[in-house]
Amino acid sequence: MYDDADLLPLSALQHLAFCERQCGLIHLEQAWNENALTAYGRILHHRADRHGKETRRGVRTEFAVAIASRRLGLFGKADAVEFPASGPCPVEYKRGKAKAHDADRVQLAAQAICLEEMTGAAIPEAALWYGATRQRETVPIDDVLRRRVEELAAQLHAMMDDAVTPPPRKGPHCKACSMRGLCLPDIFRGDGSQGTKSAVRYLGQMRRDRDHEQEDAP
């Protein structure tokens, strides 16, 4: 069990599931860049992050619910928690659409585990709502997903204890990442080690881009 002072943000688990380096840059180095996608996501969460509750069709929903798990060492907020007759069901609001990676499902499962610890109720499923498709996806909180959450929670605590940001590992996930300009994945090899030739090419491209900007300036 973790003490209150040792609890880590649940959002960091989602960042870690997406990219170790992104997680380190944000939660160790306190770095952040915003692009159009993250701005839209922030607006969407701002709309969802309203305290209070409502009842529709006999189902009570509470918003911006504070949650925590001392077993996993995590704390955060659930965008919404529905309370049907079958028991609590966390609902997480996301921009875009369902993704191939499991970062959103990891975050949602962690919320469910937190709520189970707080309420004593079993939560077999939860839900993701995507802004682009305006569709709701039911996510089974099965044993495989639970183990994934537990492994990532342990990895997150180890990373924060070591206070070492992982090196870049370039991949498809880099394409739309708002942290690309701070991460600099193009100057590292695929194994995370720095490549001199890649660094030279990267710096050369930066100079060319700067020259073009100066030529185009009024």
Cα–Cα distance measured from residue 112 to residue 78, given in angstroms and rounded to the nearest whole number: 9
pLDDT tens per residue across all 218 residues of the chain: 999 999 999 999 999 999 999 999 999 998 876 543 444 445 445 555 566 889 999 999 999 999 999 999 999 999 999 999 999 999 999 988 898 899 999 999 999 999 999 999 999 999 999 988 999 999 999 999 999 999 999 999 999 999 999 998 888 888 878 788 788 887 665 454 554 444 455 555 556 655 554 444 34
Alpha helices in 49-142 (DSSP H): 103-119
pTM here is: 0.78
Over the range 113-129, which residues count as b (16 or more CB within 10 Å of their CB) and which as e? bbbbeeeeeebeebbbb
Measured from the Cβ of residue 143, the count of other Cβ atoms closer than 10 Å reads: 8
Q: Report residue 214 as tokens.
A: 């100066």
CA proximity to 111, closest of 92, 124, 94, 93: 92
The tokens of 215 are what? 């030529």
